[in-house]
C-alpha cells in the first residue's frame, strides 16, 4: 500500500492537537504532547516523508467539523499554498467528515494517525496473513471514508485508496467492490487462522518453553534477538522496521533449550484491525 509516487519524498506538514478541556485534572502536560509529536514525526519518516514543519496545537475544545480551529486552519492553508505542501498528517483519529472538510478547506491530502500506520504496515508486511490483514484493515478504513461531496482531489487515489475517497458518482460502485473484497479477505483469513491454530497446537507438543521479546517499537528487540540467537534479522533505527515475528532455538547457559520469539513492537493507538496478524 505505497503512497502515491507524487507524494513520496515530498514535504509534509504534521499537526498534533491536545485539548486543554479534556486534559483537566488528568495531569497531562506540554511534554506529553511534545513526545507524541516526536513519535508521529518518526512514523512519517519511516515511509520516507520529509516533515517540513511539525506543529503543536492547543485546543480548548475540538471542533466537530474540522477538529482544529479556524485561526489555525487559516495559517495552515496559507503555508500549504505558499510552500506547495501536498500532504497534511493529523496525529488523531479523524472522522470521515472531518477529513473531508479539512481536505476541502486546505486543498491538500489529509491523513490521520490510523491512515499513516496503515501505510507503514502495508509497506512492511511480508507474511501471507500479515498482507491480507493489512489489506482488510485498509479497506475497512477506506469504506468509512466513502463520504458524499468529496472534492476533485480525492479522485487521485493510490494503494488501497485510504489517502482519499472517491468522487460522488463512484460512491456506490466503490462500496460494493470494497464489500466484495472484504468478504473474500475474511474467508482467506479464516483458512489461514485454522492452519495457524494447528501449527500452534503442534508447537505445544514440543517440550521447550517459548519466550517472547516484547516492548515498544524501535526499542532494540531485534538487536537483542540477533545477539542471543546469532541470527541476522533485519535491524534499522526506525519505527516498525520489520513486522514479521521470528522464532529461533536458544541454548541457555544452564543447558536448557528455549524458543525465542522476536515480536512486533508496541505503539499507542494501533488500529485494532492490525493486532491479530502480528
Question: How confident is the model over 201-214, as pLDDT tens digits?
Answer: 877 777 889 899 99
In the chain, residues under CATH classification 3.40.50.11060 are 11-178
Question: How confident is the model over 57-115, as pLDDT tens digits?
Answer: 998 889 999 999 999 999 999 999 999 999 999 999 999 999 999 999 999 999 999 99
CATH class of 206-271: alpha beta
In the three-class reduction of DSSP (H, G, I as helix; E, B as strand; rest coil), residue 30 is classed as helix
Confidence of residue 125 (pLDDT cuts 50, 70, 90): confident
Checking DSSP bridges between strand 109-112 and strand 87-90, what pairing results, if any? Answer: parallel
In the chain, residues under CATH classification 3.40.50.300 are 206-271
The model scores a pTM over 0.95 = no
CATH class of 11-178: alpha beta
The residues, any chain, with a CB within 8 Å of residue 138's CB and separated by 6 or more, are 1, 118, 122, 159, 160, 162
**Phi, psi dihedrals of residue 57, rounded to the nearest 5°:** -120, 120
CA dist 161 and 151 (Å) reads 15
Amino acid at each position: 500500500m505505497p503512497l502515491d509516487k507524487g507524494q513520496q519524498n515530498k514535504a509534509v506538514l504534521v499537526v498534533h492537537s491536545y485539548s486543554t478541556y479534556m486534559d483537566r485534572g488528568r495531569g497531562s502536560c506540554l511534554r506529553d504532547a511534545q513526545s507524541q509529536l516526536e513519535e508521529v514525526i518518526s512514523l512519517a519518516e519511516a515511509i520516507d516523508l520529509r516533515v517540513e514543519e511539525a506543529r503543536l496545537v492547543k485546543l480548548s475544545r475540538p471542533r466537530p467539523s474540522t477538529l482544529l480551529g479556524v485561526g489555525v486552519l487559516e495559517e495552515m492553508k496559507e503555508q500549504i499554498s505558499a510552500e506547495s505542501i501536498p500532504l497534511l498528517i493529523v496525529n488523531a483519529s479523524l472522522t470521515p467528515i472531518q477529513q473531508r472538510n479539512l481536505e476541502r478547506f486546505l486543498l491538500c491530502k489529509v491523513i490521520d494517525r490510523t491512515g499513516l500506520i496503515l501505510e507503514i504496515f502495508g509497506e512492511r508486511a511480508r507474511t501471507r496473513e500479515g498482507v491480507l490483514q493489512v489489506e482488510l484493515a485498509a479497506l475497512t478504513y477506506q469504506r468509512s471514508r466513502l463520504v458524499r461531496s468529496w472534492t476533485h482531489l480525492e479522485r487521485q487515489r493510490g494503494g488501497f485508496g485510504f489517502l482519499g475517497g472517491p468522487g460522488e458518482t463512484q460512491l456506490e460502485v466503490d462500496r460494493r467492490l470494497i464489500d466484495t473484497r472484504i468478504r473474500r479477505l475474511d474467508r482467506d483469513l479464516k483458512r489461514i487462522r485454522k492452519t495457524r491454530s494447528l501449527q500452534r497446537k503442534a508447537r505445544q507438543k514440543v517440550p521447550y518453553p517459548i519466550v517472547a521479546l516484547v516492548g515498544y517499537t524501535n526499542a532494540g528487540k531485534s538487536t537483542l534477538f540477533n545477539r542471543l540467537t546469532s541470527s541476522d534479522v533485519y535491524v534499522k533505527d526506525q519505527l516498525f522496521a520489520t513486522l514479521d515475528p521470528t522464532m529461533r532455538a536458544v541454548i541457555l547457559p544452564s543447558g536448557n533449550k528455549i524458543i525465542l520469539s522476536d515480536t512486533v513492537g508496541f505503539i499507542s493507538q494501533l488500529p485494532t484491525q492490525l493486532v491479530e496478524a502480528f
